[in-house]
A and B are shown apart, each in its own frame.
Chain A
């Protein structure tokens, strides 16, 4: 079945540091890929998405590129802020399916 693997946290960074969260997936066909963010005490917010190979999703300074050859969708941000402290989830949705399959989540803590 489908699965998503992302790096375990917590990831602790200083403000303005570079952030990378690795995400790899296993799926049949050509899934859509997503990054969701969960701020403390809140629900999940869609951060960015990519629906086909080589697509780059971007939002709020975050980027991720759909790499079919390496089955990866790594999240990056060039300069993090304290307000980026949250849990980040990588997820996929099969082309013919409806449900989202999530990775285990990566907690990111940005210190001033």
Chain B
């Protein structure tokens, strides 16, 4: 158990809908990262927040957004969902902005029908 929690574990929805994925970092960690794992794209970095502020952006679609709240939990919002958004979404956390070790949550499996 990494100490990073993600909810829900599974999510099934329809095209065009909007969903919110939630992540709670390890106790004391200030940085949260979101990754997408899909069959065709592999594991890709989406976005990082540090202590409430966006720190780095990767291959994140404009339909996707994220935020980190004062209690340090983070939410990833996915809108206008398409079939291709079906994937496993991981959250990871680290102690500091530049900490080398990232600890991953169990993931949220999103299925878009």
Contacts and interface: CB of A to CB of B under 8 A. Distances in A.
Secondary structure of the B side of the interface?
strand
A97 interface: yes
Interface string B40-56: 00111100100000011
Contacts of A44: 90, 92, 104
A98 B90 contact: no
B86 interface: no
A99 B100 contact: no
Contacts of B100: 32, 49, 51, 93
Size class of the A contact interface (CB-based, 8 Å):
20 to 34
A82 interface: no
Interface of B: 2, 4, 31, 33, 35, 42-45, 48, 55-56, 58, 90, 92, 97-98, 100-107
